[in-house]
Structure 1
Amino acid sequence: MKLKTILLVVISYFIITINANAENVSIDELRTRFNHWQTTYQSLTDGEQKKSLDSLKSYPLYPYAQYQYITAHLNTATTKEINEFVTQNNDFPLASTLMQSYLELLTKEQKWNEINALDIDDSIASKCRYQYAVLKLGKKSAALEPIKNIWLSPDDQPSACDAIFDEWGKAGQKTANIILLRIELVLKKNNIKLARHLTEQLPDSYKTLKKNLLALFANAKTLTEFAKNIAPSSFSKKIVNLSFARFANIDADKAKILIPTIVKQQKLSKNDENAMFRTIANNYFKDSATDKQLKWRKQFIAQDRNTTQIEREIRQALKTNNLDDVAYWLNLLSTEDKQKDEWQYWQAIVLLNKNNQKEANEIFNRLIKSRGFYAMYSAQKLKQPFNYDFNYTIIDGMTSAPNESKILDDKYKDDAVIKRIDELRFWNMLPEAIKEWRNYLYSNTSNKQYAELARYAYSKGWAEHSVQATIAGKLWDNWLERFPIIYQDFFKSSLEQKVIPLSYSLAISRQESALDATVQSPVGARGLMQLMPSTAKDSAKKIANLSYYSADQLYDPETNIQIGTYFLDYVYQLFGNNRILASAAYNAGPNRVNRWLKESNGQLDAVAFIESIPFTETRNYVKTVLVYDYIYDLMLNNQPDMILHNNEVNYKY
């Protein structure tokens, strides 16, 4: 027998033996095979790929290898293979991705029967391609029937839908009324560009409306012309209501004067008219507002009693340190709104200002029993400890579980998704692990025991997964799982020559990213401490021995922490080790904080300054970070006795 033949026999026997004993192969051996697959599969022949793939069938990450194989052979894949993969891996995030790729290929190749045989995913692109295939198979009515609901979206739709949308339009189903309905939807999202595009599609019989709409979208000042030229209808009234804020932003005084005329021309309701006046009142909160505008705003809001605007008035009164005005506006809130923690606290401060210590303390004592910034600071004011409990029930139906760790491990360790996550984390494939976990948490939610999953993740050291489980389950009192300590070595190393404490750095990270090192915000902030590439680039230049060359490095926790703690320490020291000001600066920028301090001119105490921050996001951010810092101090066994430090309480803002 020739040597080549002998080798083939030996290799074949080896492969058969592997397949026959796959269940008995050690995890280390399976990992070796997976690593070999990842590094070589693209250079292997089809036969070699199949053999290598078969050797991974008992490995948790087999679906990833299988996905890679099918994707590489998409041109020769069958609908049966795709359907089987999706069915067998219905809890696998990439199953829908594969389906969409396959549908795109079949559409290009015009294989309509194959598309019709697929069990498609729920994506809009897949639905559009599937319906187009149904149309091409001669089933016009069935193909076009669901398209109206797909097309009627406030958002731009994927290009995959263009073909079926065109056919739907040619069939006369995209009527003028449907176009008008979608214009309303997109205007609610202030998508002027799409509204303009849709208006262009109106038929010639709508020439006058078309002309006036396009003029309105080009210049909101033409709203009065629109109201005059277009006869009142359900559509015209909605357009006027949706466009008024844009008009008021250009010239609020003129818009206010013209409200009665617009209301009369379009036969608007009293509620519509009030909404317009509220828009004017919002514009009169600007720093540039005149005394006349301020007077009108206060009179209108006092009469209208809109909660959001009353709360803005309270904050304006706090900003000027006018407790009499605070009391006046608090009194105008509804009974329900008065129960909010912040307004309970300020009601207590008003009582203290009137030397009514007893009633004020009663409110503080009630607040202590809740959670959050005002609960913790009320405890500090009364010089009482804030109550917290780390001993809470995790396993459903058990008040205590001495073998909790074993019970949870036995319950979840053999779950296919959990096993995949375990292996993804072994390979440091964190983005994939996070995607798997989120998919797991938010699918079939009625069957989830979120407290158990959060504790299981916490016990495994999966901090970002632990946090996400508490968010999914709304487990706001489960502090252990909500505030795990993560990347402690990286933080300690980065903080060696810095002033900021570890608890504060962790609090900022927890608030910024929920400890997800892979996340990117809509504006481009990246990673654990959510750094903007421009800020990171600037800060990195000042850090010794740091090699920084790409914004993608911000997804690396160690690099992100090095740069993030540098910038946090910079703003912390810039504002005299004051976490209130440093947190506000980290979120909104140092220049804004300096401007707010200049406006308050040393008149405010710490809490009044926080509550008067004009940006809702920054205001809530500061309070949340202070709470998180307090909790992390507890986690680190520092036994904090106050949420605000003495230098922060005593500072004149």
Structure 2
Amino acid sequence: MAFLAAEKAFASGDLGTYNRLKQSLKSYPLYPYLEYKELLKKLDAKNKAEIDQFISQYSDSPLADRLKYMFIKQLAVDKRYDLLQQYYSYGDDASLDCQILAYKLKNGHSIKDLASDIEDLWSVPKSQPKDCDLIFKKWIDEVGVDHNIAYHRFYRTAHEGSIGLLKYLERFLDRDKRYITDLWVKAKKDPGVVNRRSFFPSKDHNLEAPILVFALKRLAWGDRDKAYKVWLHTKNQIPLSQSHTDDIERTLFLALATENNSKALKWLDSDNLNKFITDDLVNHWKLAVLLRNERWETIKELYSLLPLNQQQSNQWQYWNAIAQQQTGQKKEAALTLKLLADKRDYYGYLAATRLKQPLKLNHVAAPVSSDTLKRVENSDNVKRAKELFELERYINASSEWRKHLQSLNSDEEIQAASKIAHSWGWYNQGILTIAKSGYWDDTEIRFPTAFKESYIEMAKKVNLPPQWLMGVSRQESAYGPLAVSPAGAYGLMQVMPSTAKVYSRKFDIPYSNRRDLLKPHINIEMGSRYLELRYHQMDKNPIYASAAYNAGKHRIDQWKPFGRHPTEIWIESIPYTETRDYIKKVMTYRAIYALKLGVDDDVFEYILTTETGGETIPE
């Protein structure tokens, strides 16, 4: 391929061959990438006009921003701050901000002129780069640090920053306020110290109250019972504002509820049902507590108090219907469940299964005209993304794609882009793109069935349903064979290289390096074997196995003591929001893929007819 040959010639210094090949590629979509590499060798102020021309000509490409960034960095190295300011947006880089301010200071600006910008840079809960030392010193010496500004930074650092920085900032507080540094340091090291009778000297309640709030919130997520006792013991020691009290009570309730501590129900019963009523997370855990205790009448009462947007959610409509059903309002419950059963959704599938109705796919292709499809397909970004995708340069392809999406003006254009990505086999990009348009019914794009044969073959080997393997892939990678997570998991089923090394030996799976995990058949075998292991480790419970695939077996073992409940209630009570949502999605996607494969699946029947939790899972 001429483009690859041109890159190779340029890298080796064979400029004659390079220029000849480059000339033949002027109409090729990736021609700007050759020019970009040339300009990276010419990042000098004297080439400003050429750099500006590229940035202007290819403003629709991420290359323009990339070149601008590299030019800014080089101008900083060359100390050409006069030019740098023409390209740089203040606030993007603290080091550059300080270098520019130092340049301005050297060239006639007074420290008072720059005080506002310096103050913004100083007032962060972390140490700034050494480039800032000079201007900070001059600002402190000539202007001084206002006590309110100093306390603001101190307070943020106490919550988010290091103890070392906290001790440094003590010098900027008024002398009679500096005692709080020692209190903060002790509370950060051991939040339980606030329970000591003499810990708070009661000199300044406004300064001491945030320490109690911080300590109790941190303690709550470590030792719930201790936090609760400390709160009862200390809450009258320091006058607290209502917002401080609410902050502590909210955290305590969430912490207690996630572990099914009986004190969470006591708090709810203490005339707190309508407290934090606009808070989605608190309301979820109110529901979980009430479900665990089968408080059906209270669930209906809570539902009546919710804001309209929460009442209209499928989750709340479903559980309100179940509460109605349990309290004799069977007609009202049946009506709601019937409406939900028409939906392609976790709660819709629960409702349909309860009513013994078939689950629905509800596929409707995204309505995109051929003219729109052609217009989007012919855009420069899409042409470049296509070539980069085919060259397996996925990071660059994704950058071009994101840049293009920013320029689209209608949902139809976004849906057209999703169809294009899907047609290339860039399935995860198709899924992510169509989601931006808010169109949910094109199940061809949203739930691809590529690599179906590999899933079916592997399902037979591990004796698990192929639709489960496909559902896990859909949730793990959005069905992206080339996906790499920030944590370093690879491919369709997001397999870690460390797992792959073990499994390659154990099951004789060909594997030499992590790039092998981008091969669908290898990734599917690795991921399927891992799911099989979790399934058998956890007494063949598909909910446990899926949760362990996401959060690890040790998490499930931690959650077991929180009680045994009907499986649908156990799922609703999973402590981690991420894992709770993960389970609901994987089970829903499993059912969807069963419909697409034309096979039966009983996972929602399992959810409705079994109990989960409490028992010991064999090693």
- What TM-score, normalized to structure 2? 0.82
2:575 is the alignment partner of 1:614:
yes
User: 2:366, 2:439 within 8 Å by CA — same for their partners in 1?
Assistant: no
* Residues 1:509 and 2:452 are matched in the alignment: no
What letter is aligned with 2:349? M
User: Which shifted more, 343-352 or 489-498?
Assistant: 489-498
Deviations 1:388-409 (A, max 9, x none): 43235523xxxxxxxx4x4244
Where do 5+ consecutive residues of structure 2 fail to align? 613-619
Q: Residues 472-491 of structure 1: matches in 2 within 5 Å?
A: 472-488=436-452, 490-491=454-455
Give the Cα separation in 2 of the matches to 1:167 and 1:52. Answer: 56
Q: Give the 3 Å change call, closer, same or farther, for CA 568–114 of structure 1 in structure 2.
A: same
Per-residue deviation, 1:108:
2.3
Q: Is 1:98 the equivalent of 2:67?
A: yes
Offset at 1:546?
1.8
Match of 2:464, SS?
coil
* Alignment correspondent of 1:633: 594
Q: What residue is the counterpart of 2:352 in the other structure? A: 379
The alignment status of 1:259 with 2:223, answered yes or no, reads no
Are positions 1:216 and 2:171 aligned together? no
Deviation at 1:563, TM superposition (A): 1.5
Deviations 1:317-336 (CA, angstroms, capped at 9, x unpaired):
444xx42x243244234243
Question: What aligned pairs does 1:127-206 form with structure 2 within 5 A after superposition?
Answer: 133-139=103-109, 146-149=117-120, 152=123, 172=143, 175-185=146-156, 190-193=159-162, 196-197=164-165, 200-204=168-172, 206=174
2:241 aligned residue: 269
Alignment pair present for 1:579 and 2:542: yes
Provide the C-alpha distance between the structure 2 equivalents of 1:179 and 1:516, rounded to a whole number of angstroms: 48
The answer (yes or no) to whether the contact 1:373–1:623 under 8 Å persists in 2 is yes
2:566 to 605, 609, 623: 605
Distance in structure 2 (CA, Å) of the matches to 1:518 and 1:136 = 51
Further displaced range: 46-55 or 508-517: 46-55
Query: How far apart are the structure 1 equivalents of 2:342 and 2:99?
Result: 55
Which residue is 1:349 aligned to?
Answer: 322
Contact 2:61 2:400 in 1 (8 A): yes
Indicate the percent of aligned positions where both proteins have the same amino acid. Answer: 25
Indicate yes or no: 2:607 matched with 1:644: no
Letter in 1 for 2:347: Y
1:279 aligns with 251
Taking structure 1 as reference, are residues 153 and 481 closer, same or farther at Cα in structure 2, changes over 3 Å only? farther
Call closer, same or farther: CA 1:152–1:464 in 2, change over 3 Å.
farther
Range that drifts further, 54-63 or 117-126 = 117-126
Q: Deviations over 1:611-648 (max 9, x none)?
A: 23232222211111111122223334x165x6735555
Aligned 1:388-399 pairs, distance under 5 A: 388-395=361-368
Contact 2:500 2:511 in 1 (8 A): no
Whether contact under 8 Å (1:345, 1:374) holds in the other structure is: yes
Cα deviation, residue 191, structure 1? 1.9
Pair 1:63–1:184, CA change in 2 (3 A): farther
Distance 1:444 1:199 in 2: 48
Equivalent of 1:57, from 22, 26, 40?
Answer: 26
Q: Which amino acid aligns with 1:634?
A: L
For 1:472 and 1:491, locate their aligned partners in 2 and report how far apart those are by CA, in whole Å. Answer: 28
Deviations 1:131-172 (A, max 9, x none): 555555545677665454455556776777677666666664
User: CA deviation digits over 1:330-387, x for unaligned, max 9?
Assistant: 4234243454433332333333334543232112113224442111221122122344
Inter-CA distance 371–547: structure 2 relative to 1 (3 Å threshold): closer
Instruction: Render the CA deviation track for 1:45-103: whole Å, top value 9, x for unaligned.
Output: 56665555444332211222222222234368723333322222223224333333332
Match of 2:169, SS state, is coil
**Alignment-mate amino acid for residue 535 of structure 1:** T
Q: Does structure 1 residue 328 correspond to structure 2 residue 298?
A: yes
- Cα drift, residue 436 of structure 1: 2.1
Give the Cα–Cα distance (whole angstroms) in 2 for the partners of residues 95 and 157 of structure 1.
Answer: 29
The 8 Å contact of residues 151 and 157 in structure 1, kept in 2 or not, is answered as yes
Change (3 A) 1:119 1:491: same
In the other structure, the counterpart of 2:615 is none
- Aligned residue for 1:432, secondary structure, equals helix
Letter of the 1:614 counterpart: P
Gap change, CA 1:64 and 1:391, over 3 Å in 2: same
Superposed CA deviations along residues 233-260 of structure 1, whole A, max 9, x for unmatched, are 5x76656544541355564112332112
1:510 Cα deviation from its structure 2 partner: 1.8
Of the structure 1 ranges 33-42 and 170-179, higher mean CA displacement relative to structure 2 is found in 170-179
For the residue of structure 2 that corresponds to 1:364, the secondary structure is helix
1:560 aligns with 2:531: no
User: 1:514 and 1:149, CA in 2 relative to 1: closer, same or farther beyond 3 A?
Assistant: farther
Q: Which residue of 2 aligns with 1:245?
A: 217
Distance 1:161 1:537, change over 3 A: farther
Q: How far apart in 1 are the matches of 2:59 and 2:199?
A: 52
TM-score, normalisation: structure 1: 0.78
What does residue range 472-551 of structure 1 map to in structure 2 within 5 Å? 472-488=436-452, 490-492=454-456, 494-495=458-459, 497-517=461-481, 519-548=483-512, 550-551=513-514
Return the alpha-carbon distance in structure 2 between the equivalents of residues 288 and 373 of structure 1.
Answer: 24
SS at match of 1:352: helix
Aligned to 1:78: 47
